[in-house]
Structure 1
């Protein structure tokens, strides 16, 4: 009930009025059955605008810290994520990625829509990065169709680190369903998982118009965030 009120009565109409979404291909989302929404990831607000545009409930996973904040801000965030169908996942351990996939797989087996960012993290510079094969494992385990969603400008609306979004028209392209049933007997095959993932990323590149980079975004972020080595501590030669 809270989800319905938030999406269709309170938050949804307000966001649509302010951001005037322009969505192409919305009819590509099936009206029933398990569906994987695979999106490129540009901004924190991706998980807000994407579920807003789809009539069915879309479930994303988010780090558990979003649900444990203190004070008024913490309460508001907890209510918002709970109301929009987001499920908390503990990302502190080595099994975090598997926990997220297990959660989404449960949603798919119940006939729902699971939202996932194949890149695994937000793009550090707006380009599209190599997809991780978790999305392919979801495909093979669930048999769900994949709907690629190209987000075009959410990084302009809410750049990384900015709390308050800019009021600007949201634009996204939703692609035709991708059916990977031909690989139904290939669960666990890493070459097949990579092939499925790469096909999805190609569609996201086409739909988003973003430059593709064949490395993981997380690897680039690690390089960017690594502290500069102090020359005084460099090994002597």
Structure 2
């Protein structure tokens, strides 16, 4: 109930009035049954705006830190994310990737709409980064369609108040069907191919430049060296193996 209260009473009307998000392709979301909404990840607000324009409830995999805080702030934060339909995943354990995938599979088999950010973290510079293959495994094991989603934010200045607020856009592409790969879940070459196809569709919808490097690797190097994302990318090569692909797709990073 809290999810619908936030969407239709507490937050939704205010956000729609202030930001006026523009949506395209909402009709592509199935009215019933499971599906994956695979989106680019530009802002911590992505998970707020996308569900606003989808009639059905969307569940995201969220980092466990949102649910483990202490004191009043931790209690309120935990209640908010739980009520908003987020499911915690622990990204620090050795089995984090597998646990996240199993959680996603459970939600999909229950007929839910699952929101995923294949990049695994927010973009460090607005470009679209290499996707992780967890999304491919989920669609291959369940047979559910994947809907590519593009979030866009353009500068916008309110003429009367003079505030600078982003113009929010959400574009949902046509469902991607990977039934031709039925029975091939676990094949890393197939999973990479499926993931790349999904990322290509997101790139086409969003208009972003694509970078064939993991965003998390770029962020780690930026923190360690103080270099810009572009400088880091120019030094990094695409990963030679798929081990990092298994890192969990999440709400934010």
TM range (shorter): 0.7 to 0.9
Q: Which residue of 2 aligns with 1:210?
A: 208
Distance 2:61 2:205 in 1: 23
The 8 Å contact of residues 151 and 173 in structure 1, kept in 2 or not, is answered as yes
Distance 1:17 1:214 in 2: 37
Residue 42 (1) aligns with residue 37 (2): no
SS of the counterpart of 2:189? helix
Distance 2:147 2:29 in 1: 7
Q: Which residue of 2 aligns with 1:232?
A: none
Gaps of 5+ in 1: 158-165, 229-237
Moved runs in structure 1, 4+ residues, more than 3 A?
70-73
Distance 2:83 2:54 in 1: 15
Distance 1:13 1:76 in 2: 22
Q: Which residue of 2 aligns with 1:124?
A: 124
Q: Which residue of 2 aligns with 1:221?
A: 219
Q: Which residue of 2 aligns with 1:134?
A: 134
TM-score w.r.t. the length of structure 2 is 0.82
Q: Which residue of 1 aligns with 2:148?
A: 148
Distance 2:70 2:6 in 1: 22
The 8 Å contact of residues 141 and 183 in structure 2, kept in 1 or not, is answered as no
- 1:182-213 CA-partner distances (Å, limit 9, x unpaired): 11121211111011001000001001110001
Distance 1:96 1:53 in 2: 30
Distance 2:166 2:215 in 1: 26
The 8 Å contact of residues 35 and 144 in structure 1, kept in 2 or not, is answered as yes
Map residues 43-82 of structure 1 onto 2, 5 A cutoff.
43-82=43-82
Distance 1:4 1:151 in 2: 22
Segment of structure 1 superposing worse, 131-140 or 11-20: 11-20
Alignment: residue pair count = 220
Distance 2:18 2:102 in 1: 35
Segment of structure 1 superposing worse, 199-208 or 216-225: 216-225
Shift of 1:227: 4.6
Distance 1:220 1:169 in 2: 27
Distance 1:73 1:168 in 2: 28
Q: Which residue of 2 aligns with 1:88?
A: 88
Shift of 1:37: 0.3
Segment of structure 1 superposing worse, 7-16 or 120-129: 7-16
Distance 1:10 1:167 in 2: 20
Segment of structure 1 superposing worse, 70-79 or 18-27: 70-79
- 1:16-43 CA-partner distances (Å, limit 9, x unpaired): 1121110111111111111000000111
Q: Which residue of 2 aligns with 1:182?
A: 180
Shift of 1:128: 0.3
